Amino acid sequence: MAKQRVEIVGLRGIPGVMGGVEAHCEELIPRIAALAPDLDIELVGRIPYILPGETIYRGVRIKPLPAPRKAQLEAIVSTLRGVLRARRRGAAMVHFHGIGPALLVPLARLLGMRAIVTHHSLNYDHQKWSGFARTMLRLGEQVGVRFANRVIAVAPWLAARLRSQFPDQAAKIVLIPNGRGTFPDKADEAIMAELGLEGGQYILGVGRLVPEKAFDLLIEAFEKSGTSRKLVLVGGADHESAYSRALVAKGSDKIIFAGVRQRPALKALYQGAALFVLPSTHEGMPIAALEAGSFGCPILLSDIEPNRDLGLPAKNYFRSGDADALAAKLSQPVEELVVNLVLFTRYDWDIIAENTLSNYRLVLDQTTVLNDAL
């Protein structure tokens, strides 16, 4: 019996590519492939985030396709090429990641394929986008929800919001949260000497250097706090901007920009941190916070709804956008911000993969009924 083909589109690529969607797919898609040998799963990525040439990563075929290096074009162009490739390959279903790529869900349906959309965050609220881009992202959310066969929301707040906004589509919106990251057994301890760090003597932030991560606020609060610790920021910018350049210009012997790091080094940084801080103004479900928590690192988060969804004690939150409130928190003993590890056990990628696969099966088994949506 021929395998049913599934195409994964909308992301930069895997493995080891920076970004929350990329981290999500790197954990999830290979697990689905292992659970479902009857599916032929291919993931479309973008050159130059991944190198040219088809490869296999943990049972998933990775197909790099060229994409323009322009923030407002690369995702939609890459997704278009991915959808057309899916049709040529005879794919039964396309799994779209993100509301920008979801603009092309109607095309996939018109070409005779089923579609699942994973909604990761309200990208149109991110400061980096122009008015036109925000309009297109809102449109992508609308057509994605209305024309997809299934919509996966990665956080409780997001699932509730979508069901409220699209009540006539509520039955096909499901909550499947992000999971905590998995790491190699051995940490790359050399990173500590490279950056001049000592365990327990630095505060850690992890994320892209974009306005919605609010690392500028964290730096301001760090400087106001008077702490003797260092601040280490791990991550980079997909597209260099005035914001990212201004941020990196604030680097010093106490404020260290560590760049993008792979998991062995990141594991060592999580394990050695005195405190992990996520000051974001927007999130979907924060994978970096789940990772830090899984290592037992004390945690401090902005009090936006996606972060509150993690259900940490009130003491682990500060008022979003308030540098003084964050500075006060940075000055208190970190022992007060230790989180019970049990809170993170439910964010298990193996369970998440099983739940996602069950939705694949549902959509793949309902060809006739669900194709009537168009």
What is the tens place of the pLDDT at every residue in 175-226?
A: 999 998 888 889 999 999 999 999 999 999 999 999 999 999 999 999 999 9
* Burial class, 194, CB count within 10 angstroms (exposed 0-12 / middle 13-18 / buried 19+): exposed
Q: Give the containing element (helix H, strand E) for 291.
A: helix 287-294
pLDDT band of 129, cuts 50, 70, 90: low
Percentage of the chain with pLDDT > 70? 96
Which string of DSSP letters, residue by residue, matches 23-87? HHHHHHHHHHHHH-TTEEEEEEEEETTS-SS-EEETTEEEEEEE--S-TTTHHHHHHHHHHHHHH
Position 235 pLDDT exceeds 90: yes
Q: Looking at residues 7-31, what average pLDDT do you find?
A: 94
Q: Can you tell me the distance from the alpha carbon of 319 to that of 211, in angstroms, rounded to the nearest whole number?
A: 17
pLDDT band of 20, cuts 50, 70, 90: confident
Judged by DSSP in three states, 277 sits in strand
Any residues with CB less than 8 A from the CB of 28 and at least 6 apart, and which?
A: 179, 349, 352, 353, 356
Tell me how far apart the terminal alpha carbons of the chain are, to the nearest angstrom: 29
Position 162 pLDDT exceeds 50: yes
CATH of domain 4-179+348-371: 3.40.50.2000
Q: Can you tell me the distance from the alpha carbon of 33 to that of 347, in angstroms, rounded to the nearest whole number?
A: 20
pLDDT given for residue 343 in this prediction: 81
For the chain, give every residue range classified as CATH 3.40.50.2000. 4-179+348-371, 190-344
Any residues with CB less than 8 A from the CB of 264 and at least 6 apart, and which?
A: 183, 184, 186, 187, 188
Position 373 pLDDT exceeds 60: no
Q: Can you tell me the distance from the alpha carbon of 133 to that of 63, in angstroms, rounded to the nearest whole number?
A: 27
Strands (E), 210-320: 230-234, 255-259, 275-278, 299-302, 317-318
Position 268 pLDDT exceeds 80: yes
pLDDT given for residue 124 in this prediction: 65
pLDDT given for residue 48 in this prediction: 87
314-346 tens-digit pLDDT: 999 999 999 999 999 999 999 989 988 888 888
pLDDT band of 169, cuts 50, 70, 90: very high
Confirm whether pTM is higher than 0.85.
yes
Percentage of the chain with pLDDT > 90? 80
Position 125 pLDDT exceeds 80: no
Position 374 pLDDT exceeds 80: no
Position 369 pLDDT exceeds 60: no
pLDDT given for residue 1 in this prediction: 66
239-258 tens-digit pLDDT: 788 899 999 999 999 999 99
Q: Is the dihedral of CA 322, 324, 330, 335 positive or negative?
A: negative
292-317 tens-digit pLDDT: 998 989 999 999 999 999 999 999 99
54-109 tens-digit pLDDT: 999 999 999 999 988 776 789 999 999 999 999 999 999 999 999 999 999 999 99
pLDDT band of 229, cuts 50, 70, 90: very high
Which tops the pLDDT comparison, 238 or 270? Answer: 270
Q: Can you tell me the distance from the alpha carbon of 124 to that of 317, in angstroms, rounded to the nearest whole number?
A: 25
Closest CA to 352 of 105, 35, 3, 72: 35
pLDDT given for residue 344 in this prediction: 85
Position 32 pLDDT exceeds 70: yes
Position 371 pLDDT exceeds 60: no
Judged by DSSP in three states, 137 sits in helix
How confident is the prediction for the chain on average, in pLDDT? Answer: 92
Q: Can you tell me the distance from the alpha carbon of 272 to that of 190, in angstroms, rounded to the nearest whole number?
A: 12
Q: Where are the alpha helices (DSSP H) in 131-281?
A: 131-147, 156-165, 190-195, 215-225, 242-248, 263-272
Question: Which tokens sit at 55?
Answer: 């490869």
Q: In what order do the strands lie in the sheet with 173-175?
A: 55-57, 60-66, 39-47, 4-9, 93-97, 114-119, 150-153, 173-175
287-294 vs 263-272: helix axis angle to the nearest 10? 60
**Are 47 and 64 a contacting pair, CB within 8 Å?**
yes
Any residues with CB less than 8 A from the CB of 86 and at least 6 apart, and which?
A: 5, 7, 9, 94, 108, 113
Any residues with CB less than 8 A from the CB of 204 and at least 6 apart, and which?
A: 232, 234, 269, 270, 273, 275, 276, 277, 292, 297
Considering the domain delimited by 190-344, tell me its CATH architecture: 3-Layer(aba) Sandwich (3.40)
pLDDT band of 372, cuts 50, 70, 90: very low
